[in-house]
Amino acid sequence: MRIEQQNDGVSASRKHLVFAYYVTGHGFGHATRVTEVVRHLINAGHDVHVVTGAPDFVFTSEVESPRLFIRKVLLDCGAVQADALTVDRLASLEKYSETAVKPRAKILALETEWLNSIKADLVVSDVVPVACRAAADAGIRSVCVTNFSWDFIYAEYVMAAGLHHRSIVWQIAEDYSHCEFLIRLPGYCPMPAFRDVIDVPLVVRRLHKSAKEVRKELGVPDDVKLVILNFGGQPSGWKLKEEFLPSGWLCLVCGASENAELPPNFRRLAKDAYTPDIIAASDCMLGKIGYGTVSEALAYKCPFVFVRRDYFNEEPFLRNMLEYYQGGVEMIRRDLITGHWRPYLERAISLKPCYEAGINGGEVAAHILQETAFGKNYASDKLSGARRLRDAIVLGYQLQRAPGRDIAIPEWYATAEDELSQSLPSSPLNDRGLTSYSGVEDFDILHGDVQGLPDTVAFLQSLSELVAKHTRRERKAAANLFNWEEEIFVTRAPGRLDVMGGIADYSGSLVLQMPIREACHVALQRVHPSKHRLWKHAEARQNDKGGKPTAVLQIVSFGSELGNRGPTFDMDLSDFMDGDKPISYKKARKYFAQDPSQKWAAYVAGVILVLMTELGVKFEDSISMLVSSAVPEGKGVSSSAAVEVASMAAIAAAHGLNISSRDLALLCQKVENHIVGAPCGVMDQMASACGEANKLLAMICQPAEIVGLVEIPNHIRVWGIDSGIRHSVGGADYGSVRIGAFMGMKMIKSQASQGLTDICAANGLNNDEVEQDDIELLKQETSLDYLCNLMPHRFEALYAKTIPESIAGETFLEKYTNHNDPVTVIDEKCNYGVRAPTIHPIYENFRVKTFKALLTSASSTDQLTTLGELLYQCHYSYSACGLGSDGTDRLVHLVQEVQHSAASKSEGGTLCGAKITGGGSGGTVCVIGRNCLKSSEQIFEIQQRYKKATGYLPFIFEGSSPGAGKFGYLKILRRATPKKGSYADFNAVLTENES
């Protein structure tokens, strides 16, 4: 239900009530909004005990009453910030564990006793989970007042940090399930643990003074533009400079250190300054998004220039609300740090924020709390706490695939996306099952063919619709990206399913990779700098440099709006130059890492630097790029390789570069290894660039020699099943295993060298033929380039017993100096597994060769059984290396259960094997089986059983598509007379949408 207004406010109490109000330890925003609710409760004659870790002055500056009692206790820590703009996800989980999990029993006992001691009539939480459980234990009703809940915030952290933290999220949801109902504030996140909800207006602090009074007290003339800098602490190492502000502006700085030296056009605000008055008196605000800043900016119509915070999952929903009411301008973090503020501030003061809804949420919430304490029942009785918890688990802790957006995020995002109609257009099918070519007909295709690919048709349709009016920032930016009278190049690169080979690629193994149906599309246009339509901040940046048009790269990434990455990226291409030479890869990695919300751009922009460095390509024109990927991220299906390959293919096509698919893949690997900083092998990029639909790309990774395309026999079918556990090739587990393998190879080469010396010393020149053969083998092993070139029997005969289980980095370096891997670094303090990472690629290479040979053998039950056995062996070898996961192990076990069931045996065998894929540590499981209806039914059965056990419904990868080389590129041009309605009022729309 929604309550917009209470005409009588909060009535004076009919009896004296006692409220226990718990406040989370995350920032001041919660405390300030709680203060507004508390003020109304106290004015109604009630006692309020506030349980908080916030300073007293936050409450006492607004509420001076003997009825206010402050109890300083911290019962949850919120999100730990690495700096003013970045949340440390792992540290947040660890601190919450220390604060609220380990002492949980003691907390519950103390809080239950305390609630009974003060004779509390109602417990209110914003939004401390354990408060709800303590209230239930004390026999007291409880209500939450919030716009987000910690189970929602932490769910994504758990996926990033590891599922061993998952119990934290489940416990929080269980605690919230004891809450009677939720008073929900605007800008809310999905909160499935609460099944009964009352929506109220914004809760904002009241104004004490008029804007004119505030300016007079501050001594700020009316003709001076005033901006309040409100970050709750400044980014570390940041020094404010006078030139950051346009002429005639003054900046009021919140939270500035007493020792900080400020320029003359910056002024430090007192620690206890009342910010609502100052916000209302300012022309705009610059800061990070939080409920307090957004609500007060909207309430008092102060335009808000905001910088994204990384990994605080409340932000996208507040950001959408802010932009919906035309009150926000996003600033790139790079421009914040470098002081390029002018275009954003000037844009902000041109806005006309239009929030007209109520701002009396504090009064409304207090009325509801009072009536609840009197005994009024706002909640429905049909849902028990256990039912709410079950629904929370079903709705909450799933990751879901959806085309064109960040993938490994809680399903709540998908819910919000549906509500906002933000999904990419689907590919409609006609009654014959063929893709409708709506959107394609708006373009002349000057080169290439869509090849009947429905996702390519859908991408072209999305291009044709970009001129429509959009409210989403990424769509508005994309609508401005291209000159529709010029040619556009479109490329496509799929992800890949690792059927066999996996992590043995960096050891030179044969690998078998299948390009999947899901792919990344890139649209690119070259523009002369004098004709390039720049975004306003990029134009201002060029003007500041003298105004001469120079080449600029502008990228829009679809699918970022509800994620932790910015939707746009731009840079002067001259930033890639150091004098007359390209900058180093090390400098480039640092350049992209300075803003985590834009680190994704390294995968796209990095290809330009690699082409400059490796091929000497000079880029004199500006480049506009639109990137839209449906390859799920974090699933181990090479989402990053698809982006890299599609981006480089588009740049090559637009610039007339004749690069073979193989060479393009090798160049893309350099992007990932040296600019992104992920130590991947080359098979991902090769599969994406060189693969063909319904075939396995057979490649020997020394470094990338294609040995053929292997047809998948008609009686065999391959699936991928996503475990829901986020995989990252840049993770520590993968890197440690890779280091262990290179350590093992160094040890083998050293031992071979010593063996060769010993034989020669013992026998002199009198070597018989057998000894000469031994010498030749030892010579080969002394100069081993790839671990996979060592035959398994030689390893077992000579080296297996001498390779240690593990070794300290310091010990290895003392004896061997280095491990000769250019993309990983040994940490002296770290202990590395060596034996298992060394054994794996030696035997994996043999398994892949056997697998490839079996695929071309006669069809038989033994063929399928043996193929499946090879997958199982690979899977357990991954686990021995430390690259397994609970989720992938569970899926493999489910496949085994189905395979050996009586029903399967009666069918003559259906599913026959499964293995973890790619870099391991989660991601996707590859399953092989008989191509029949029963196998498909069994895959569906496994999907449902996995969901029942884990609460997560896996995505199933089925089908294949051509690699980037086979697809080629499209060169398209908008038709002069487009389909009716597609480009109406084009110029007017562009002008209106200009950002």
Cβ density class 18-35: b for 16+ within 10 Å, e for less: bbbbbbbbbbbbbbbbbb
Burial of 718 (0-12, 13-18, 19+ CB in 10 A): buried
Between 5 and 807, the more confident residue is: 807
Token pair, residue 582, equals 């390209």
Question: Residue range 449-458: average pLDDT?
Answer: 92
pLDDT tens-place string over residues 867-904? 999 999 999 999 999 988 888 999 999 999 999 988 77
Mean of pLDDT values over 621-644: 91
pLDDT(981) > 50: no
For residue 274, pLDDT beyond 70: yes
Highest mean pLDDT among 41-45, 762-766, 981-985: 41-45
By CB atoms closer than 10 A (0-12, 13-18, 19+), residue 474 is buried
pLDDT at 61 over 80: yes
| Per-residue pLDDT reduced to its tens digit, 809-831 | 999 999 999 999 988 899 999 99
Please check whether residue 226 is in contact with residue 282, taking contact to mean a CB–CB distance below 8 angstroms: yes
Enclosing H/E stretch for 72 = strand 68-72
pLDDT of residue 678: 84
> For 246-267, what is the mean pLDDT?
90
**Average pLDDT, stretch 676-693?**
89
Tokens of 418: 């549906």
How far apart CA 166 and CA 172 sit, in angstroms, is 10
pLDDT band for position 432 (cuts 50, 70, 90)? very low
Inform me whether the pLDDT recorded for 386 exceeds 60.
Answer: no
Amino acid at 41: L
Question: Which range among 167-181, 234-248, 760-774 shows the weakest confidence by mean pLDDT?
Answer: 760-774
Task: Please answer whether residues 832 and 747 qualify as being in contact, where contact means their C-beta atoms are separated by less than 8 angstroms.
Answer: no
Cα–Cα dist 508/427, whole Å: 40
Lowest mean pLDDT among 443-457, 464-478, 635-649: 464-478
Q: What is the pLDDT of residue 416?
A: 34
604 compared with 168, residue with greater pLDDT: 604
Please, which pLDDT band fits residue 770 given cuts at 50, 70 and 90?
Answer: low
> Hey, what are 659's tokens?
């690069």
Q: Cα(539)–Cα(643) distance, rounded to whole angstroms?
A: 27
pLDDT at residue 235 is higher than 70: no
| Span 190-217, pLDDT tens digits | 787 787 899 999 999 999 999 999 999 9
Residue 728 has pLDDT above 60, yes or no: no
Non-local CB neighbours of 98 within 8 Å, separated by 6+ positions: none
Catalytic residues: 684
The top-scoring range by mean pLDDT among 56-70, 265-279, 638-652 is 638-652
How confident is the model at residue 990, as a pLDDT?
33
pTM: 0.76
Residue 11's pLDDT is: 67
Of the listed ranges 63-67, 489-493, 757-761, the least confidently predicted one is 757-761
- The arithmetic mean of pLDDT across residues 738-748, rounded, is 95
Nearest Cα to Cα of residue 840 among 720, 738, 923, 939: 738
pLDDT in tens, 330-373: 898 888 988 999 999 999 999 999 999 899 999 999 999 999 99
pLDDT at residue 400 is higher than 50: no
pLDDT tens column, 82-95: 777 778 888 888 89
Residue range 558-563: mean pLDDT, rounded: 67
What percent of the chain stands above pLDDT 70?
87
pLDDT higher for 131 or 906?
A: 131
Check the CA dihedral 844-845-846-849 and report its sign: positive
Q: Quick one: DSSP state of residue 523?
A: E
Dihedral class, residue 927 (left if φ above 0, else alpha if ψ from -120 to 50, else beta): beta
- pLDDT > 60? residue 685: yes
The pLDDT assigned to 985 comes to 39
Backbone angles phi, psi at 778, to 5 degrees: -65, -40
pLDDT for residue 389 is more than 50: no
Question: Which range, of 173-177, 220-224, 262-266, 459-463, averages the lowest pLDDT?
Answer: 173-177
N-term to C-term CA, the chain = 37
Q: What is the average per-residue pLDDT within 260-283? A: 92
DSSP code per residue over 773-786: HHHHHHHHHHT-S-
Find residue 717's DSSP bridge partners.
Answer: 929
Greater confidence (247 vs 424) lies with: 247
Contacts 24+ apart (CB under 8 A), 591-597: 592/675, 592/676, 593/677, 594/333, 594/334, 594/337, 595/332, 595/333, 595/334, 595/566, 596/86, 596/310, 596/311, 596/564, 597/308, 597/310, 597/333, 597/564, 597/565, 597/566
Q: What angle, 0 to 180 degrees and rounded to 10, lies between the N-to-C axes of helices 886-899 and 933-950?
A: 140
pLDDT at 434: 35
Q: Are 131 and 21 in contact (CB under 8 A)?
A: no
Specify whether the CB–CB gap between 254 and 231 falls below 8 A.
yes
The winner for highest mean pLDDT among 326-340, 405-419, 458-472, 759-773 is: 326-340
The average pLDDT across 525-530 equals: 93
Among 302, 256, 295, which Cα is nearest to 279's?
302
Mean pLDDT for the stretch of residues 114-143: 96
pLDDT at 425 over 70: no
Instruction: Using pLDDT thresholds of 50, 70 and 90, give the confidence band for residue 769.
Output: low
Structure tokens at 591: 């350049």
Q: What is the pLDDT of residue 412?
A: 36
The residue length of the chain stands at 995
Q: What is the pLDDT of residue 526?
A: 96
> Quick one: 468 exposed, middle or buried, by C-beta within 10 A (0-12, 13-18, 19+)?
middle
From the list 239, 90, 235, the residue with the least C-alpha distance to 157 is: 90
H or E stretch covering 930: strand 924-930
SS3 422: coil
pLDDT at 14: 63
3-class secondary-structure state, position 400: coil
Average confidence score pLDDT of the chain: 85
Secondary structure letter of residue 487 according to DSSP: -
Ranked by mean pLDDT, the top range of 473-482, 597-606, 752-761, 791-800 is 791-800
Cis peptide bond prior to 127, omega within 30° of 0 = yes
Structure tokens at 812: 């290895």
Please tell me the predicted confidence (pLDDT) of residue 9.
Answer: 64
pLDDT at 403: 31
